[in-house]
Chain A
């Protein structure tokens, strides 16, 4: 909503406040002023000129040489506008003038002819092209004959004005009108209102003799008022009305259309003018459209209606879409002499639906959608009739044609001052409260310890006691509310154990060298299940904005790989990222997908880079595996953790494993398949994903201290020769199972496959630690235990001791 402060001052005394200060007061008490706009934009030296003579430039077809009376002198100005003509009163920017955009006007010579200034269009004065009346859209603006040469043109055009741009929240549609804003400003400044006048002499003829009215859809249209005005002269509106409309962001057309728009801006009540003769039937019938019925609207578009759209008809065919836009067939035109003014209450929901279906939003529909003030329907119709009489020479027929079943009873709100003070944590006196209600012009009474308030119909947002709390608080001032903290039973806050563990997981991974990434949950359908640990029916959007963001992910890996590609393409040596986020699987009983929190990580590039001391290493499978092992140790699950060779689509078939806890699959790890790496232009890249929810929810043994023993442990190393395919993990498992209670640790320390080995064989060396916390072990005990291990290895894995 654009509010001209000059126009506003007609309805309420703004106490000569600087518009900036007024804007700040309005903002602090309830309606945000987004901008304070100076329409003059610092312009000077812009005056009225009288074109005394206008001849073609001898050297240039499109230029005219004009002799212009600018008050103190008559001077020559070259003008290129096609519509400049002798006798016109025009806007002249004199030498030294500065126009919007910093354009400076200087004396100049154009094709040998002197030019002392510029004859201006409205656009050159900073008015948006879409607001300039069509007649002047392509040339200079022509002022009324009454303008005096030499006087400043800015006041004539209303450019000596400051506009407040209001950013209205949906509840404050009452401020979608100059009167509504005046009420608000009046309440803030404790000033009374001055209402617009509606005075005209009624004709002897009655409106009801000219027009019949019937409403067949009373729910959608509970109130309809029509006035008939004869003998109107269609012409340009007076300048003051045109510039007020432009200031409000509305393009002037002709006096009848401009008056309906002016009253719309003034009262917030949308009006429509029909050409009475073009209605043909002397009848208006308001009804729901027939499915598929057609109408050509004012914007020359043919529109197909649905059966829930409300239309105004002449009894035969639609002449307007109610509350949205008029029809071309009944439009006011230059030859119109009799007009019907419509002022109605159309139900918000109905207008919203229609305007949405037709993809057509207008100043009118925006106001109907939010609900207009029932009490202004008649007032606005009368105001329009009065202006038609005054500005279009119209003869207003007696009375109105009315259907009115609209409930105009104000909402009563009963609230106690204690309630208000308790909610606010304040001690505002009853006197202060009633004084605020008086300023707001809320009809109220204090009795029996309660305030009885009749909310004005213009304020449809006031319904419940809490609304009164807000009105009192915002007028009293939010700065006055003290600062306290909730008084309540003291309870410790904190994280759940799941949340606390998740934080530790993050800290661990970051300590291990990984950065936390956050990627999008939405992906393409094609990528949504790639690398997924578990797949289920996908969750797709009804109306995606793009194919790339149409489906919820079932794996975090694809977007992390995108991040690796992105970073690698930007010369990153190492990319190590992890993400904690949800995947979306199938559908639960409630109809929502099953959301599972996962952890994924990717590593690529160099892992260790300390070259000057000879340490340099690229990432490999075991870097990432080590990170997972460390994580499971942190979470108390290292004993249950195993890795098993697996095949996953998109991963290297020889370098992929499933991760298991106690035999249950909880994740995967692997190298990106070389062909995938090639597509993404990546070097060796390793990925892993875990079902984090499952891991964190898994029960863990209580942490209990084991005494630190004073007895020594004994270590025995063995080098085994086994078949090349034999998995090290299998050997380790055999050792652990056969080592008995004295075997405390097994550590693989060497692996050799090569020339010195028999083909098809490899050597694996383990270091075994034997230990008894109670005493020093004897050689014999260790030898016994160790022999059992060797025997088991020989029997179960065909392992021989390397000679």
Chain B
């Protein structure tokens, strides 16, 4: 072994006394060579982010602190050096890239000023030289018109551009080590693919060591040289990327990798082409934003433009797209949370948009929704039993019958019946999504609209909830509209996929045909951007 730039030995990070476990990180050993990308991968709560912060000495003290171990960097133990010494290391020799570039950049300073400040703190250079250096680095990270970008404020840039600017700030002083904490998680897949490519390119050019923290095995497959798998603060497995990804040894790693949805569409059941559960025709919704009194001078955004899709009975239709594509708006138009400007929503050959109040209530019973955010979609003030049964009761079910059905539903979604007496905050994210599903099923709907129901969940929990959704659909003969940004998930659960971009459906095909032969250039771009697309998830069963 050569001389590693970062060498962490037996690192312990203590949590506050009343936390659920005494150590966030316990006995971590990790080393990074020059010119190497090491991925720390784990689910939420595994301690991966705190590890990155410990290296930067940015732990949220005073209760969370490194209590044991050494972090060797350039001949010094970073846990021992003075705060002044640490300041001269941060930014100059170790740089950090955060998850959310919008909050990591100062909204009141231009990109140029923020880069300049960094250089000014660490180097003595004339202003003109600094500006030249900043322009060069912006050019390096592929920002268009770097000279102009120097004078741009963060809000004037797109998410991808902001993350490029963050990377520029990290690289400007040519640090030996970069710590990247989920830098692409907040980005769309196509942007993510570009950023990953850029990061890898620049890392090779500058021979930087990178500590890359992520939850996504696809990303690991794309960029990692070596991998460290963490679980509950413990190091489960570590090794060369190829070994860990394709021949994992530990049970936990195998479980995680087995839970990664494959990009190859699974076999789907046959369905009746003449039996349509729901159909939209030329559905359109325009949002008006800004503008003063009477809406003068406001902007218009065509969120959904003439969308016509068909959901066959007993099947799942995936609506796939990036943020701002209008997929969530479409879902809300269909469940009538928003009113469409024009077009029709056909159910049983009848346009549901023409319904009166009483009929709308009947419609509500037939079309139910599962929401994205497991924390925000349940009222924190009521017990689970009430949350599930309330819908039934207002539709005329007796209290005792509703209680019996609630218990039944809880069992069906894989929870104890005693869950009815508890509050939402007592459950984990995955359990809450199960509660949300039970609530939607309580009204015995025909159509289930699921808006990114698994995107906030860890990969292993995600696999369970997806399986549950699939089972429930078959068992109740539901038809499902499944909104997602994740093509891997779509490949596993959808019979048909509609790809949306800028409010329009650009391609609508059966899943297997879409993956095998994408016609539209945007679909091809999406498929080409899926992280880890060249990695075939090994069959570990």
Task: Answer whether A and B are interacting partners.
Answer: no
Write the residues of chain B forming the contact surface with A, with a CB cutoff of 8 angstroms.
Answer: none
Write the residues of chain A forming the contact surface with B, with a CB cutoff of 8 angstroms.
Answer: none
